[in-house]
């Protein structure tokens, strides 16, 4: 049985390489890859552009009023061989990755109505299976029946260093200290919020990749997918 498709849920802490693993798995098995964090980042960009965030506090009433106007889509970009995130028809893929968005996303993602709206879209995207989705609540809330769940983590210092290298390679002027602070702050908000907090699903496999190379991680997750598909070779 190798041609049946499954749902693969990948959750974990900030900047631990979930998207990299998810993208590689999707390519390897011909699955759709969805970065659910990009959706919360796009909503956050909308909030920032419409001045709906003051001193770290979201103007909830205004945001909820605007929520039906926020249209988020993914469109395949053949140049990057990956999907770009669009907010109301505009490609915002680069901007949503910047630190000012990372610094404001967790309070926005903690709003239950925002989550309900994103989770509805995410469930719809996974209804035909053959999907790898990464985020914070994928194995617990979005796809609790996913056939395979991973929970990825690494030490905060290592995660911050990886994100710092990624951002500076893109030419963004950031310091390692502010990235580490952001990683820790998001971990805290994401894990302690009331609505769908970040936690490991009971049936998720833990991957601590602090001391693993990309290749080692990939080899491990591919093996787990093959086992789940009933094809361990
Ligand atoms: O790439 P990184 O791990 O730094 O973050 P991300 O996956 O892009 O997610 C950005 C933020 O969105 C997280 O810190 C969470 O606050 C929120 N998020 C969430 O609440 N639920 C998800 N399923 C995905 C992201």
- pTM score above 0.75: yes
Tell me what the mean pLDDT of segment 205-228 comes to.
96
Q: Identify the pLDDT of residue 231.
A: 81
- Looking at every residue in the chain, the average pLDDT score rounds to 96
Quick one: DSSP state of residue 96?
G
pLDDT tens digits along 168-209: 999 999 999 999 999 999 999 999 999 999 999 999 999 999
Cα three-residue angle 22-9-135, rounded to 5 degrees: 75
Pick the atom of ligand 1 nearest to 44's CA.
Answer: 12
Does 40 score more than 50 pLDDT? Answer: yes
Ligand 1 touching residue 37 (CB < 6 A)? yes
- Ligand 1 centroid distance, CA of 93 (Å): 14
Pick the atom of ligand 1 nearest to 108's CA.
Answer: 16
Does 1 score more than 90 pLDDT? Answer: no
Does 232 score more than 80 pLDDT? Answer: no
- Ligand 1 centroid distance, CA of 20 (Å): 14
CATH class of 7-225: alpha beta
Please state, for a pLDDT cut of 70, what percent of the chain lies above it. Answer: 98
Question: Which of 108, 112, 136 gets mutated to test ligand 1 (max ligand atoms within 8 A of its CB)?
Answer: 136
Q: Identify the pLDDT of residue 2.
A: 54
pLDDT tens digits along 68-96: 999 999 999 999 888 999 999 999 999 99
- Ligand 1 centroid distance, CA of 225 (Å): 23
Does 144 score more than 60 pLDDT? Answer: yes
pLDDT tens digits along 85-140: 999 999 999 999 999 999 999 999 999 999 999 999 999 999 999 999 999 999 99
* Segments in the chain forming alpha helices (H): 18-29, 36-49, 60-66, 99-109, 112-125, 156-169, 176-192, 214-228
Tell me whether strands 82-87 and 32-35 are parallel, antiparallel or unpaired: unpaired
Q: Identify the pLDDT of residue 233.
A: 66
Q: What is the rounded distance in angstroms from the CA atom of residue 205 to the CA atom of residue 52?
A: 38
- Residues in the chain, how many? 233
Ligand 1 touching residue 140 (CB < 6 A)? no
Ligand 1 touching residue 190 (CB < 6 A)? yes
Ligand 1 touching residue 93 (CB < 6 A)? no
- Ligand 1 centroid distance, CA of 150 (Å): 15
Residues 6+ apart with CB under 8 A from 205: 148, 149, 150, 151, 224
Q: Identify the pLDDT of residue 56.
A: 82
Cβ-based neighbour number of residue 207 at 10 Å: 21
Q: What is the rounded distance in angstroms from the CA atom of residue 184 to the CA atom of residue 193?
A: 14
């Amino acid at each position: 049985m190798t041609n049946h498709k499954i749902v693969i849920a990948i959750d974990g802490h900030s900047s631990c390489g979930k998207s990299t693993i998810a993208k590689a798995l999707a390519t390897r098995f011909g699955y759709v890859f969805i970065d659910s964090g990009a959706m919360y980042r796009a909503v956050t960009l909308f909030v920032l552009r419409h001045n709906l965030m003051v001193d770290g506090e979201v103007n909830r009433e205004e945001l909820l009023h605007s929520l039906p106007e926020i249209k988020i889509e993914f469109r395949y970009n053949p140049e990057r061989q990956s999907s770009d995130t669009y907010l109301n028809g505009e490609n915002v893929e680069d901007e949503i990755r910047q630190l000012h968005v990372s610094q404001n996303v967790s309070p926005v993602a903690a709003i239950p109505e925002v989550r309900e709206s994103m989770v509805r879209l995410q469930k719809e995207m996974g209804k035909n299976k053959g999907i790898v989705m990464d985020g914070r609540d994928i194995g617990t809330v979005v796809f609790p029946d996913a056939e395979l769940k991973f929970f990825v983590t690494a030490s905060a210092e290592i995660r911050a260093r990886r994100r710092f290298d990624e951002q500076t390679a893109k030419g963004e002027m950031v310091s390692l200290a502010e990235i580490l602070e952001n990683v820790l702050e998001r971990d805290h908000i994401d894990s302690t919020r009331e609505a769908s907090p970040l936690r490991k699903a009971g049936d998720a496999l833990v991957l601590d990749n602090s001391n693993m190379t990309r290749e080692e991680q990939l080899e491990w997750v591919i093996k787990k997918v093959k086992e789940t598909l009933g094809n361990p070779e």
